[in-house]
Structure 1
Amino acid sequence: MGLKGYIAKRLVYTAFLVWAIITVNFLIFTAMPGSPIEAYMSSLKGANPEAFKRLAEHYGLYKPPHEKYFLTLKNLLTLDFGYSERYRSSVLDVIIREPLPNTLILMGTAEVITIIIGMLLGVIVAYKRGGVLDTTLVTGSLLTYSVPIFFIGWLLITFFSLYLHLLPTGRAYPVEWIRNPPSTVFEYIIGRLYHMILPTITLIIFSVGGWILLTRACILETITEDYVVTARAKGLKERTVLYKHVLKNASLPLITNIALAFAGMIGGAMITETLFNYKGMGRLTYDAIFLTGGGSDIPLLQAIFYILALCTVVANFLADLLYGIIDPRVRYG
């Protein structure tokens, strides 16, 4: 089977997964006790009968189960998530207006830095396995990876914000911007970066240990292979051997985890964003689950779960395609 046939096969499999995601999404919210939409409407103050009627028509509240299912199928495939009475806007607009860009900026920055540092240190400690550096970094990685992320964030806030007064305790941007928005692009970038420092460091400290351990394990599996010995016998520099030969051939598990990491970042970091009052996808999910008046924002939650699952499927599809490009041992067949 050639590359085109392989891509066609993966596309069919991806389409099946999307259908399964929509079906599970439908079953989860249908199987909830009572009427989730009615519970959602009752939690909103000032909701009028027209609003309830609009939601009932969108979700087919009073239609037979099979009609309701096909209606859900159509809505999710067209990204029509309905209208959020809480935000007085379409659900898709609520997501892409502020939370999604904020999360992409924060999580994207943290993920890129974490992956680069973790992979580089992972290669180094695998090369120097058994030494002081290896023992220190492995122990430190296990320690930071096992500490709750809210505790790491709390320590950073206490030290840098409350004690030294160097960095803000939270928010995605200065509170003064609500009345006086930044006048220049430079001012905007500096303000956003200034408020991103603590949550970004929190995510890096929590996640980098996992990447160090994963990279180290992958490198140790391949560093003793015959082709590594041959490369060294040819007189290649050790750096070239490690990063061009060893890391490249040990990268399949890393590619999968990188793809899933970037897919998962769409969902945000609920604990970190809530701790730092950062208006991203994680904080949006938290607010949707725990509404002020009780209940949950069902339209918003359904959209968030679907988008996150969809991004995971797409990331896996891209990872499968990259396997054959990076590792010639993988064949499309």
Structure 2
Amino acid sequence: MSLGGYLLKRVFYSIPLMLGAITIIFALIHAAPGEPTDYIIGDASVSQEFIDRLRAEMGLDRPLWVQLGKYVLEVMSGNFGFSYVRNTPVIALILDRLPATLLLMVTQYVVSVALGIYLGVISARRPNSLLDRGITVFSLAAFAIPLFWLGQMLILTVAYQLDWFPIQGMVNIRQGYTGFAHVLDVAHHLFLPALTLALPNIALILRLTRSSMIEVIGQEYIKVARAKGLSERSVLFKHALRNALIPVVTVVSLNLPTLIAGAVLTETVFAWPGLGRLTFDAIHARDYPLLMGMFIFISLVVILGNLIADLLYALLDPRIRYQ
């Protein structure tokens, strides 16, 4: 099957998958206790008639299956609705926060993949050595630490006590930097949240790379490559690593939902103005349209991540064919 045909087939399969995801997400959100009217009204003393009228205006008085059918039809037409609380189109809110989250996610992905693979390779080069044991202890500790606790500890030590990095936010509002100074300011604010997200991911990629590399290094073609007089660096990074990366690509793509959940916690702790913080605020306010839009976006990212992983398989291993 050609690459174009494979892509069309995957897109076609994604349609019922998205419909199923929308149905499940819709049911779970509406099954949670509380309604948007509770957040909007707050502690104000209003009559039951006012509450009923407000629910009718929001469409919350209709049966759940009617609300679901109406929402699916609107989504198919490209309309994700208006935020109940912010009174703004959901798609506009997502696009407004998307650049900040992309910056955070891409940065931590580049750092975690590069460091995780490199540490995994040098750890697998000499198993059970002092270096390997040190890297193993680091990976276990980094993977076990909860993200919200790690973020708070970094704020208390590195940001507050040592004053090396800003505590919260994306830019220094008081200074109002422009040009290259603005880029440096954003990078300064980005360091701690990106590090918080990257550490557990580095540990995961490191462990997978190490175990996969140890298995590949023991195969015959690696011994042949060494017998030909190739440098150890060439043997490890050009011959062994390519085949060892296939399980790593699989797990990294399947780990996307965990990373997005981690982004919600990290962006909340560091007040990073991205989609994670927006999701947290929407959950607190029971903002159904915004929550649905966020979860649909996350589902699309997960599906896209798995598609990219499938395409990378063919690049890493020519024996793989789409059938």
TM-score (norm 1): 0.85
Tell whether 2:234 aligns with 1:240: yes
The one of 293, 297, 303 equivalent to 1:303 is 293
* Structure 1 residues 208 and 33: alpha-carbon distance in aligned structure 2, compared to 1, 3 A threshold: closer
RMSD of the TM alignment (CA)?
A: 2.8
Give per-residue Cα distances to partners, 1:167-224, cap 9 Å, x unaligned. 21111111326xxx44x32132122112112222222333311111111111122111
- Whether the aligned pair in 2 keeps the contact of 1:111 and 1:262 (CA below 8 Å) is no
More divergent stretch after superposition (109-118 vs 194-203): 194-203
More divergent stretch after superposition (262-271 vs 203-212): 262-271
C-alpha deviation, 1:52, in angstroms: 5.5
- Whether the aligned pair in 1 keeps the contact of 2:81 and 2:89 (CA below 8 Å) is yes
- Whether the aligned pair in 2 keeps the contact of 1:41 and 1:52 (CA below 8 Å) is no
* Structure 1 residues 273 and 249: alpha-carbon distance in aligned structure 2, compared to 1, 3 A threshold: same
Aligned equivalent of 2:111: 113
- Whether the aligned pair in 1 keeps the contact of 2:212 and 2:244 (CA below 8 Å) is yes
Give the Cα separation in 2 of the matches to 1:251 and 1:158.
37
Tell whether 2:269 aligns with 1:279: no
C-alpha deviation, 1:29, in angstroms: 3.6
C-alpha deviation, 1:316, in angstroms: 0.9
The one of 209, 227, 232 equivalent to 2:221 is 227
Give the Cα separation in 2 of the matches to 1:83 and 1:63.
20
Mapping of residues 243-258 of structure 1, within 5 Å: 243-258=237-252
Give per-residue Cα distances to partners, 1:43-88, cap 9 Å, x unaligned. 59899999755532xx8x53683x5443222223344221113223
What amino acid sits opposite 1:95 in the alignment? I
C-alpha deviation, 1:151, in angstroms: 2.6
* Structure 1 residues 218 and 175: alpha-carbon distance in aligned structure 2, compared to 1, 3 A threshold: same
TM-score (norm 2): 0.87
What amino acid sits opposite 1:326 in the alignment? L
Aligned equivalent of 2:73: 74
Tell whether 2:142 aligns with 1:148: no
More divergent stretch after superposition (39-48 vs 70-79): 39-48
Aligned equivalent of 2:62: 62
The one of 301, 318, 327 equivalent to 2:317 is 327
C-alpha deviation, 1:37, in angstroms: 5.1
C-alpha deviation, 1:11, in angstroms: 2.8
* Structure 1 residues 118 and 84: alpha-carbon distance in aligned structure 2, compared to 1, 3 A threshold: same
- Whether the aligned pair in 2 keeps the contact of 1:14 and 1:317 (CA below 8 Å) is no
Aligned equivalent of 2:179: 185
- Whether the aligned pair in 1 keeps the contact of 2:98 and 2:275 (CA below 8 Å) is yes
What amino acid sits opposite 1:135 in the alignment? R
Give the Cα separation in 1 of the matches to 2:278 and 2:317.
39
Give per-residue Cα distances to partners, 1:231-281, cap 9 Å, x unaligned. 222222211111111111122122223334567656661222111121222
Give the Cα separation in 2 of the matches to 1:270 and 1:11.
28
Aligned identity (percent) is 34
Tell whether 2:317 aligns with 1:290: no
Aligned equivalent of 1:14: 14
Give the Cα separation in 1 of the matches to 2:316 and 2:200.
28
- Whether the aligned pair in 2 keeps the contact of 1:144 and 1:205 (CA below 8 Å) is yes
Aligned equivalent of 1:195: 189
Aligned equivalent of 1:163: 161
* Structure 1 residues 30 and 106: alpha-carbon distance in aligned structure 2, compared to 1, 3 A threshold: closer
Give the Cα separation in 2 of the matches to 1:311 and 1:81.
17
List gaps (5 residues or longer) in structure 1: none
List gaps (5 residues or longer) in structure 2: none
C-alpha deviation, 1:18, in angstroms: 1.8
- Whether the aligned pair in 2 keeps the contact of 1:171 and 1:278 (CA below 8 Å) is yes
Tell whether 2:310 aligns with 1:316: no
* Structure 1 residues 188 and 273: alpha-carbon distance in aligned structure 2, compared to 1, 3 A threshold: same
Aligned equivalent of 1:269: 263
Give the Cα separation in 2 of the matches to 1:11 and 1:196.
34
Give the Cα separation in 1 of the matches to 2:64 and 2:268.
39
* Structure 1 residues 312 and 38: alpha-carbon distance in aligned structure 2, compared to 1, 3 A threshold: same
Give the Cα separation in 2 of the matches to 1:17 and 1:38.
31
